Structure 1
């Protein structure tokens, strides 16, 4: 499945051959299918392809891009199965499958696949590992997904690339002249700066400077809102807290919907390395940790809609049903709502800030930003753990980092292991008692920054083209104005008014967890713990409400 480390090092786990006993177990959950030689089992974009187990014959898997170029991805024979992570949720297929000869197979829908994985634990573990590794291989090898076309330093390329990467969606990034077929196709847009970046889909559609939502709709990532369905739980936010709540709720049989405006992982998903999370002594990237939770939630049947920016919550309906409406006009209903929308990155009061956001000013440090600033001098503002992780990561990728903090040092805001690492790294210059005061640039983006020492008001300036801001966050609660929840003086959601439901808000059936909750510890471990805890309280609340309704109708 492409030339990459995952395919080379873990091929046996990616493409296992099932024994007859395992085949018999799979057959109990699926239905027989026959495909004639040359027949398409599925095409790129087809939905609801869970897993296909070959009993006889052979199937070729290949990928094609919008230029018509095709790449062989895999060849499956009897005892092997076809599928990857999208099969858990029925999202569109990323590749084509064609019968190389007459095929007898067992077809499993996404629901049947999830039932198999849960019911047959040991076999399910092997299947899940293969599905996850296949998606990882597609991402590493760029052997599937759309073509992202822009110059290497185009900020829009970083924006869209980050959106796709944060949602675990494979893509291939090219410059306009890197591929002759692509160069000819996009030549007409070379003098149209507002058209870039371009996104070429497998079906030949070309999107010009699309928004994240445009991309998601074009790739059929979001799905349709079921306005007539009432979920047991709607979780707003797919960070560690929200994903944890989804996993525990779905695994216990509750119907779960997860909505997020950008991608799974939240702020934690942008962390280059988390080294103080229990069970990972060598550390783990935020993307890897939250990606596991994302897949795990789908394994148990949670429905996830991204991007879906919730605009309002109606929690006063006479029937007790909570209704959420997104900015694009879709609506969703649930018996309970878990607010896990976390916090938004704080924006300093700098002139021109909005002008350079995404064009030199960044709120996270990922491989996409590294492509733009590798080997350059950068500025990083902030003194918390996220700032420390980002500084160490940027330095490890060849950047020279000016780390600016307003306070006298890092001891009050950062873990000791990160402080030691920063102090030992000659590529990081710690500038204490310093604040960023100005951003300068032009149509190309940020070109220089100016800072000021607080002690003597002395100013300095440098031709720095990339600034990373990690100065804390504010609660993401603007969408809750219609629900009139109690908050603390800083806008974080207040909970605990009822001792029986410590994570319940001032509105019945509405709970809050993670960074958005007043008094939370603002750590990944704490958020995940609250996600598990809130599910027990939801069960109790639903049972109590059912008892009350039964008594009222008796």
Structure 2
């Protein structure tokens, strides 16, 4: 369908955006190489290349002309996100998986456009380093810009202290999906939308998608499906490795397995990143001298795994795990199985809960297990409590002290030195906004619809103190995330999965079940550190190779990829390249 072309004059902000690293330009040499791998099409002014909400959209490279990326608001054409000229290309993270595209794209002038289909794009990314670097740089940069500007996202209407609203906020934030939050308690636009759609308070929170689809208090699984975050629609594939859990260990295993040619699927029950993904700042992770947030580390690792071809099922729990003829069937909540020759369990650990009356009543309505920008926004200029003496608690206290009136850090011991890194201790002790309360513990929580008052006791002198506090961050201990599907696995007294010699396995990460491995925080005896989890996730891949090699006679579909061997798709790619390349 053609519509009247709009003016191609770009304003200053848009020109600056196009010059940003998010919008690199392919040089003529690269365009010439790509011309042999795609199809050139002509688009008249006003013709659409793709529409918002489409899945598996191809990449389009501008050979001549101009195209624009448009944010669509309801049925109306909204703002222009970017104008692309010669050598520039479309797409962001939607190029790496099957998520829905967030924008419309149409030609401004008569344009010659090179279409690279998804299959060929995956091959190019795996084999062409220069092109892959530019595409990945653009994907990450553009998604960052989109989230920052809330462009092309969903609208979430709900009360900000509601447990379900916080659940959906956390899901959108940690999956890097743009959104606009409207609280009917403080926002007139929210109330207008409520009346327009005839919502009732019982319907809140609601999510409005770009096509005006309304989701009333959706489950995270439903929201994930609607946004296209689950990328395993084909359940007939038998993968070489299925990884359960997308924390640091699971993501590392995915990157190494996929990069070494193993067909890989990752199944995550909530959002990628695990416990580490909720950290506001990790300063002692190798290679990041200025620190890195858990969210950024997770986002980059996820994109890296997808770059090599790993598939992801987000917000999907494994219910049962059964083996038949050397193949494991992992049945997900939707009833459909994912099948794989090997399984890596990397479900991690969760913080322990406080043994207090009313505790579960206030979970996610005042009690939090993460301290990110989202949670910090809920307690701006307020007093908060952080419970815990480990690095996670220290990082949370320091982060929250930047925006909170006062942070009360409660620890049961007498000192932090035995449980927390020195650099965190020094910053906590020098902060004017952090009050360290040793030998103290919470004894009571009170409130009506949400947490309103916290009472703690100083066990050294028996003093009881109550304060009007609405947000408590609990970061103590570690409980293994061993779901029902793990009931056949050997575990230690605390529930962590036993591996290696403890279960007579030749592999350090092997469990008592053949072809099932455990890595990261869920493994008994593991060091509960991000770097350690990443190390275990990467090393376990060599054990997977050994196992698959030992069974390849029974299953000829697998062969161990040798170093230097040209991947199966490369002859076709090389044949299409110009002579002399």
TM-score norm. by structure 2 comes to 0.89
What's 1:469 paired with? 474
**CA deviation map 1:264-302 (0-9, x unaligned):** 100111101001111111111111111110000000000
1:4 touches 1:140 (CA, 8 Å); kept in 2? no
SS at match of 1:396: coil
What's 2:230 paired with? 222
Task: Say whether 1:487 aligns with 2:514.
Answer: no
**CA deviation map 1:17-64 (0-9, x unaligned):** 222101012223323333333222111110111421011222111112
**CA deviation map 1:515-554 (0-9, x unaligned):** 001111110100111111000110011001114668xxxx
Deviation of 1:105 after TM superposition, in Å, equals: 1.5
What's 1:70 paired with? 78
Task: Say whether 1:208 aligns with 2:216.
Answer: yes
The verdict on how the C-alpha distance between 1:374 and 1:21 changes in structure 2, with shifts beyond 3 A counting, is same
Alignment of 1:26-41 (within 5 A): 26-41=34-49
What's 1:327 paired with? 333
Deviation of 1:425 after TM superposition, in Å, equals: 0.7
Deviation of 1:151 after TM superposition, in Å, equals: 4.3
What's 1:398 paired with? 404
Alignment of 1:78-477 (within 5 A): 78-176=86-184, 183-187=191-195, 192-315=200-323, 317=324, 319-443=325-449, 445-477=450-482
1:494 touches 1:517 (CA, 8 Å); kept in 2? yes
The verdict on how the C-alpha distance between 1:211 and 1:185 changes in structure 2, with shifts beyond 3 A counting, is same
**CA deviation map 1:386-431 (0-9, x unaligned):** 0000000000123411111111121111111111111111111111
2:351 touches 2:479 (CA, 8 Å); kept in 1? yes
What is the aligned length?
545
**CA deviation map 1:97-145 (0-9, x unaligned):** 1122333222223332222122111222122111210111000111111
TM-score norm. by structure 1 comes to 0.93
Task: Give the Cα separation in 2 of the matches to 1:81 and 1:290.
Answer: 25
Task: Give the Cα separation in 1 of the matches to 2:451 and 2:553.
Answer: 61
The verdict on how the C-alpha distance between 1:548 and 1:143 changes in structure 2, with shifts beyond 3 A counting, is closer
Task: Give the Cα separation in 1 of the matches to 2:431 and 2:479.
Answer: 31
2:499 touches 2:509 (CA, 8 Å); kept in 1? yes
Task: Give the Cα separation in 1 of the matches to 2:164 and 2:506.
Answer: 48
Alignment of 1:457-536 (within 5 A): 457-482=462-487, 484-497=488-501, 498=504, 500-536=506-542
Task: Give the Cα separation in 1 of the matches to 2:117 and 2:70.
Answer: 21
Task: Give the Cα separation in 2 of the matches to 1:28 and 1:248.
Answer: 30
Could you list the runs of 5+ residues in structure 1 that have no partner in the other structure?
A: none
SS at match of 1:421: helix
* Most deviating of 250-259 and 162-171: 162-171
